[in-house]
Structure 1
Amino acid sequence: MNTNERSLSPSRWRLYLVYGIAFLLFAVAAGRLFYLTVLDKEFLQNQGEMRAVRTESIPATRGMILDRNGEPLAVSTPTWTVIANPRDLWALAEDPKNLAKPVGERKTPEQEIARLAEAMGVGSALLKERFEANRNKGFMYLKRQIPPHEAEAILDAEVVGVSKIKEYKRFYPAGEVTAQVVGFTNIDDKGQEGLELAYDQALQGKPGEFSYMKDLKGNIIRTLGQEVPEQAGENIELSIDMRLQYLAYRELKAVVTEQRASSASAVILDVRTGEVLAMVNQPSFNPNDRSDLEPEELRNRAVIDLFEPGSTMKPFSVTAALRSGQYNTESIIDTSPGYMKFGRYTIRDFRNYGKINLETVLVKSSNVGTSHIALSLPQDTIWNMFYELGIGSPVGLGFPGETTGKLPMHPKWHPSEIATLSYGYGLAVSTLQLAQAYMVLANHGYKVPVTLFKQDMPPQGEQVIPANIAQDVVHMLQAVVTEGSGKKAQIPGYNVAGKTGTVHKVGEGGYAYDQYISLFAGVVPATNPRLAMVVMVNDPKGRKYYGGEVSAPVFSRVMEGALTMLNIPPDRPEGLREVRLEETDKAPYRIVQGN
């Protein structure tokens, strides 16, 4: 047989098959390598970066909260937080390089923890328990938001896996003076109370990101530059004037201490713009140190707490009467014999005032006179007046927990219900709602939205009381201060219009006749009002409890300083006395009365 015609031997055939397979595999590998390095090189880069490149978050500075003059009420300061990587620490026991060292030079997790505990000033056993609990985690907080020198002292121990990151800590320069209004954040810089909570999203800002390369031990080799810059949160400029806030807070705290009251609140409004110039509460707390914080201290009582306003609503019942057209400023009301009976229920005055005009009804604070007026009007007249002033509706500050108040509406009114409503019982308001009502009266009957934010332009509102009627009622309220129960609200050099109120508190068994709420609501200067203020003192336990004795003096002292601070000219200069403002270490201003 010809050798060319002989078939390949089995051994040679197998050899060629192996060569062919090898060549095919080589071709596939080469093709894949070409594809990855030339056509799809981003894949390998991404895979490499996943193993060597890390991205860290850059915290954004939380926006500031400022008063109307730029005074900071809440600011964020940079601090350091010390962190640990428990996995790195426990990996020492199996690290070949560490094990290759002489026994005396080797690092053990227990030794590292002991050194760290000493640097931190904590118990070694407790710290070891924390590391044990987080053994398989790559992140653990050690100490948060501490000063730089304290962080450096811990890092100087050079413990494996321990490093620091930057965080921000919230600080409140005004402390307890604005605590319930501004609120506070938690350790993660998230709003928890007050405006910090209500406007948390706007204040937060957006964190940034930066990338860096790490080696196998997790050490940073090289930063790769900032990829996404952080965006600071928005600053919020409030309508609050810290000069007035300090003054109102000081006087409110003083009366609560003096009268041993359970709580108190006060609000000052700019009657033309609706801006809240001051909003203070007692008791309060220091948001910079909340170690002894009581839940009750968190309440912004001026916005949340409700009470029956009593006689402070009588001016609005008189307003409703004048607006109805059935009454005028000269109308006479017969209050004899000094009481009214509704079955077993009796409404009384302090004494029988006989026939009196509308102004005297307010000066004498006649329950009988106000009841006669209300019962002579269509049954919904008083209710409609109160409702248009904002009673029974939220003021609309956007404040967490803001109350709506209570203004009951009955399909058919009983005469006693109309009567008691007319002199401020059977409904409930907040200090802010009552201040809003007096603001409307002071602003010639024009109602503007109440706001906690500084206004550049006067807002649009609505006329709810004819201007001439509002002016007539304000004029009547001047007589309450000059001749009636509001005499202690007088301010030298200024005409004051206002109304006192002394309300029995509601207890479990009905009205408690030994517990009171003391009120004064007023506006100044009465001839051209600029400011409205309400002072509410809850449950004074001293010898004094009438609104004219407890709350009216607070109004006088605060408004005297406020008028001077705001350079509002006197409308009764013949009664003016010297008022000098000085800085002190406890509050930026105090009043010094000259001779």
Structure 2
Amino acid sequence: MSESVSRFNMTGWRLWLVCLALLLAAAALLWKLVTLVWVDGEFLQNQGDARTIRTEPIVAHRGMIVDRNGEPLAISTPVESIWVNPRELAKNESDIRALATSLQLNPDSLTESVLANAEREFMYVQRRIPPDQAQAVMALGLDGVYSRQEFQRYYPQGEVTAHVLGFSNIDDIGQEGLELAFDDWLKGVPGRQQVIKDRRGRIIRELNTVEPAQPGKALELSIDFRIQNLAYKELKAEYIYRRARSASAVILDARNGEILAMVNQPSFNPHNRASITDFGALRNRAVTDLFEPGSTLKSFTAVAAIESGLYSRDTMINTSPGRLRVGRDWVEDRGYNYGEISLEEMLVKSSNVGSAKIALAVGHEKLRDVLLRVGFGESPASGFPGERGGVMPNHRIWHDIELATLSFGYGMSTSALQLAQAYAVIANDGMRTPVTILKDGNNNGSGVVPQRVIAEDVVHEVKSMLKAVVDPELGGSDSASVPFYSIAGKTGTARVVGAGGYQANLHNSMFAGFIPADDPRIVVVIIINEPQGGEHYGSQVAAPVFARIASGAMRILEVTPDRLDSSRIMTLTAR
């Protein structure tokens, strides 16, 4: 009996011990639960969210660039970029090859690249592919393969606007042209959003936007694409026909200094820059390349002559015998002897001897002052990257030959844009207005005020003489003539400087002018560098390009003809 009681007591003691252990375990679990919920709950929630909730960037696209009429010149289109986590993808070589096949890449090269970066967690495989192609890649369900939305710059007008717009790089940062000059204005500000992703990195749900993306601001240019396209086609045709080294054309609005067109040859395709072998084609030569303006500068020599009071339009200048000794050098009229000619005839016949005599009479200070006033020797400040201001001589001691050659465009340098700005002063009755590439760039509250730099009566005299230069009835050339419109302008031909000095067989052909002559609407400058063949004078090479561009521009701008003689009126009436 006592043995039975002893066993019962031992069994009861064990039962109580087990119950106590279970009670303690339950209490421990309850305590742990309370600790997890109330003590460590916030920490654990954050840790869990960190493994499922991600903060993803929201890509912001660059602002659109449009011409003055709203025509898109540069837009951003959505694309996808495929990237991988090499640490994950390297575990399965068959997945790497499947990815390479989907993207039409070399499987061996991609495998080698992924394995070489196996310790990294990020590597781009292919940037900027169409969204449908990226969706096909993601549909493979490969571990460690992800996609990211980006934007790609697209230029609808291609090479026609390439030098003006420039381009942006693969990271959408401006590299050339206006894309570079206005990069801060055009680029957007990325945003951030919270999302839930699965283990493959795919977004399951978008939670909230932490910071919205701010797209770049639009840029409205003064460029008129219709005129830009016209100028590009005409310049390219002449460039190819003449087998020239390069060529440039600038068209300004004569009233407000706005750039309506700016084109160069050779050009490039902004969508296929990898094929470019001549990187000189990337230059906007109209603002970066300098040249001696030759006889186009004689217009300003005429301004200095009239301002000096020593000359008027009809003042006679003796150019016999067609050459002039200046110190140890000679100034010649290309073998012609024009004899006694007026100031106007000096421009019409483009006499170097007559121009040199004027400069020697008025002195270097007056001539140089005129050139500085119209903008030579300083940057046009258009905002284009690489823009150059040219070189204006300022000798401590001026020799007569330096003054003589300056009068007909040698011994100094300028750009096509700078020459156009100078002629715009004459076209705008002596008022100098800064050039601008922005629509209403000089009338948007910027405080820019046109400055009078030449007296109006002086300008009217020079305008009248420049009309005679291109009027065959007054002895001028008709190569720049535009049917039904009056024009004014000046040709120029300058020898090119080489290693041994001026080259006898290399020239730059130029024309600078405006239309209509009496109420100018546009200023046009044409530069053809080193044309090949038997013709190289500005009247032969550059002036016809001016005529074709100016004629088309008048139709585009709907400018009323101002030169209809009776025979033409009868012809038009009969039709």
Q: Could you tell me how far apart the structure 2 residues matched to 1:217 and 1:415 are?
A: 81
Q: 1:577 to 1:554 in 2, by over 3 A?
A: farther
Give the deviation of 1:78 after TM superposition. Answer: 0.6
Render the CA deviation track for 1:407-453: whole Å, top value 9, x for unaligned.
11012211111111011100001011111110000000000010001
State the distance in 2 between where 1:514 and 1:220 align.
Answer: 68
Structure 1 residue 430 and structure 2 residue 436: aligned? no
Q: How far off its partner does 1:234 sit? A: 0.8
Partner of 1:82: 82
**Secondary structure, counterpart of 1:380 in structure 2:** helix
Checking the alignment, whether the CA contact within 8 Å between 1:63 and 1:205 is kept in structure 2 is: yes
The equivalent position to 2:287 in structure 1, one of 303, 316, 334, is 303
- Quote the residue 1:441 is aligned against: 426
Q: 1:500 to 1:219 in 2, by over 3 A?
A: closer
Post-superposition offset of 1:47: 5.1
Q: Report the alpha carbon displacement of residue 52 of structure 1 after superposing the two structures with TM.
A: 3.9
Are residues 321 and 207 of structure 1, via their aligned partners in 2, closer, same or farther at CA, if it must alter by over 3 Å?
A: same
| 2:509 pairs with 1:518 | yes
- Whether 2:138 is the aligned partner of 1:155: answer yes
Number of residue equivalences: 533
The aligned residue for residue 9 of structure 2 is none
Closer, same or farther in 2 for the Cα pair 1:46/1:515, shift >3 Å?
same
Q: SS of 1:287's equivalent?
A: coil
Instruction: Select which of 315, 331, 345 maps to 2:315.
Output: 331
Counterpart in the other structure of 1:199: 182
Q: Is the 8 A contact 1:183 1:196 kept in 2?
A: yes
Separation of aligned partners in 2, 1:267 and 1:161 = 53
Question: Which residue of 1 is the match for residue 306 of structure 2?
Answer: 322
Partner of 1:15: none
Stretch of structure 1 that moved more, 134-143 or 301-310: 134-143
Q: Find the aligned partners of 1:528 and 1:89 in 2 and give their Cα distance.
A: 71
Q: Indicate the larger mover: 405-414 or 40-49.
A: 40-49
1:236 and 2:252 aligned: no
2:258–2:441 CA contact under 8 A, matched in 1: no
Deviations 1:491-529 (A, max 9, x none): 111111111111110000000010010001111101111
Helix, strand or coil for the counterpart of 2:110? helix
Q: Counterpart in 2 of 1:479?
A: 468
Residues 325-474 of structure 1 mapped to structure 2, 5 A cutoff: 325-350=309-334, 351-455=336-440, 458=443, 459-474=448-463
Q: Distance in 1 between matches of 2:456 and 2:522?
A: 17
d(CA) in 1 for partners of 2:156 and 2:556?
Answer: 21
Shift of the alpha carbon at 1:218?
4.8
Moved more, 223-232 or 428-437: 223-232
Q: 1:256/1:215 Cα in 2 relative to 1: closer, same or farther (>3 Å)?
A: closer
1:567 matched to 2:558: yes
Q: Any unmatched runs of 5+ in structure 2?
A: 1-27
Q: Deviations over 1:294-334 (max 9, x none)?
A: 30110101011111000000010110111122222232222
- CA–CA distance in 2 between the matches of 1:259 and 1:575? 37
Structure 1, unaligned runs of 5 or more: 1-25, 93-108, 579-593
The answer on whether the counterparts of 2:146 and 2:201 sit within 8 Å (CA) in structure 1 is: no
Aligned letter for 1:233?
G
Contact 1:486 1:500 in 2 (8 A): no
Q: Which moved more, 1:211-220 or 1:157-166?
A: 211-220
Distance in 2 (CA, whole Å) between partners of 1:73 and 1:215 is 41
Change (3 A) 1:181 1:312: same
Structure 2 length-normalised TM: 0.88
Partners in 2 of 1:126 and 1:352 — Cα distance?
74
The CA RMSD over aligned residues, in Å, is: 2.4
Rounded to whole Å, the distance in 1 between the matches of 2:333 and 2:111 is 75
Percent same amino acid among aligned pairs?
49
TM-score computed with the length of structure 1 as normaliser: 0.85
Partner of 2:111: 128
Deviation by residue 1:107-135 (Cα, 9 ceiling, x = unmatched)? xx122222222222223221111111221
Distance 2:462 2:213 in 1: 56
Deviations 1:313-372 (CA, angstroms, capped at 9, x unpaired): 001011011112222223222222322112331001142222221101101111111111
Match of 2:274, SS?
coil
| Rounded Cα–Cα distance in structure 2 between residues aligned with 1:205 and 1:471 | 49
Question: Compared with structure 1, are the counterparts of its residues 216 and 267 closer, same or farther at alpha carbon in structure 2 (3 Å cutoff)?
Answer: closer
d(CA) in 1 for partners of 2:253 and 2:338?
Answer: 36
Task: Note the C-alpha offset of 1:45.
Answer: 5.5
Task: Report the equivalent of 2:120.
Answer: 137
Which residue does 1:539 correspond to in 2? 530
Q: 2:497 aligns with which of 506, 517, 537?
A: 506
The answer (yes or no) to whether the contact 1:269–1:275 under 8 Å persists in 2 is yes
C-alpha spacing 1:87/1:271, structure 2 compared with 1 (3 Å): same
Q: Which residue of 2 aligns with 1:22?
A: none
Which of 150, 155, 171 is the aligned partner of 1:172?
155
**Equivalent AA in structure 1 for residue 331 of structure 2:** I
One-letter amino acid of the counterpart of residue 362, structure 1: L
Distance 1:54 1:276, change over 3 A: same
User: Residues 494 and 575 of structure 1 are in contact (CA less than 8 Å); yes or no, is this contact kept in structure 2?
Assistant: no
- 2:544 aligned partner: 553
Q: Tell me, what secondary structure is at the counterpart of 2:376? A: coil
Specify the code of the residue in structure 2 equivalent to 1:387. L
